[in-house]
Chains A and B, each alone.
Chain A
Amino acid sequence: MNKPEFYQRLAEILDVDELQPESVLRDFDEWDSLAVLSVLALADSKYGVTIRAEEIRSVVTAADLADLVEAKQK
């Protein structure tokens, strides 16, 4: 997985210019059910993996989310 590319796509979902791996997702105003759905769609369409909403809600940082998607790819 190309991590910088993943963070860029996540930044677009959160409507911010850039995102650090250690950024805490729930600190963003935009981190809501629509964002979660957008992440599900991103994981499905770009990375070919299915994530459940509960799994996404349990991650803390952007890096955790990247790890979750990457782990599913294996």
Chain B
Amino acid sequence: MNFKFRHKRITGILAVVPAREQSFVEDMKHFNFPIARSLKLKEVMGYDKHRIVEPGVCVSDLAVAGLEHLFKNDLLHPDEFDALILITQSPDYFMPPTSNVIQGRLNLKHDLLCLDINQGCAGFIIGLMQAFSLLEQESIRKVVLINADVLSRKTSPKDRNSYPLIGDAAAITVVERDPEDTVIHANLKMDGTRNNVLMIPAGGFRLPSSPATAVLEDVGDNNLRAKDHLRMDGSAVFNFVQIEVPRMINELLKYAGATLNEIDYFFCHQPNRFMLQKLADKMQLPYSKMPSNVVERFGNSSGVTIPVTITSNLRDRLMHEQFKVCLAGYGVGLTWSAMLLDLGKVKFNTIIEYK
């Protein structure tokens, strides 16, 4: 389905990554797998370094650190935003909402709409759509969108399918009204029949965590994981992305009356370099237009990868220049979504480390 938003823009992006950097060579020691094959995996998928939180670090810790950085550096004032949206799959608690935890820790005002949304790899685009909709209210001047996940804590170090690519991160995006008559187009699709392709089976109310759900099981190819761990059907995800994403982007371009050539960058969710290069091949795009370097530098942090791709690839350039960009997120749900917008002349676009 198609969406259209007017008079809205992104005015700043801050990414927060854990200072702790783990290397694939370290990870390999935990795999029950020939070293040569692990190195092949590294080469093909583009695994190298990923950022992982220290034990016990939660989503609200990363989010609070990011907001404090913005407040301290006069990039955002605590009283100038009226909604705080948190997109996460790894909340601090089942209840209360983690957005309220963040509000409380920072003593933010009571006239503030706090909202948790459970979304994954398409979570940046879904969050932007929510932010744009909220900005239709006169009382909402700015929206702070936070994407954050610490899924390394739910990933088995003995699972070669998921662990080498997982990363933790948060991103804070400020969204506000644009006096210019800008138009942003988006497309979104969901398929709940494939909800089991990416999931953490245990820990919710259907299958509460117990000693039994913590037992590591051999799930084939000498990969070990428990029901408490994240699991991903990698080949199903691969096929899903190669089939649905080019189709969706074409549909979006048609709806927006735009062509592939006029897009400066495709900032896509970052599952791994392999999948992104295959996607670029299929869409006949040069790799330079579709950055795929986030997994090797930071890891796949689910809904946070798109803002991390933007901050790490454009840095200060985004403060002075403007680009026509296409965002695309795809994953858990299954959900796939794309957005076409002008991005640039922002107040900040940077990455900080969480220590």
Q: Which residues of A contact B (CB under 8 A)?
A: 15, 29-30, 32-34, 36-38, 40-41, 44-45, 50-53
Contacts and interface: CB of A to CB of B under 8 A. Distances in A.
Chain A at the B interface: SS class: helix
Interface residues of B, number: 22
B242 A34 contact: no
B282 to A, nearest CB: 7
B221 A37 contact: no
Given A30-B37, A50-B239, A50-B242, A37 B234 contact: yes
A33 B40 CA distance: 12
Contact of B239 (A32, A34, A38, A40): A40
Interface string B35-58: 001001100110000000000000
Contacts of A38: 44
Chain B at the A interface: SS class: helix
A40 B243 CA distance: 12
Given A34-B40, A34-B41, 5 more contacts: A29-B37, A33-B221, A36-B235, A44-B239, A52-B239
A41 B37 contact: no
A52 B239 CA distance: 8
B37 A40 contact: no
Cβ-closest 4 pairs across A and B: A53-B235, A33-B221, A44-B242, A41-B278
B274 interface: yes
B60 to A, nearest CB: 35
Given A32-B221, A45-B278, A45-B281, A37 B238 contact: yes
Nearest to A38: B44
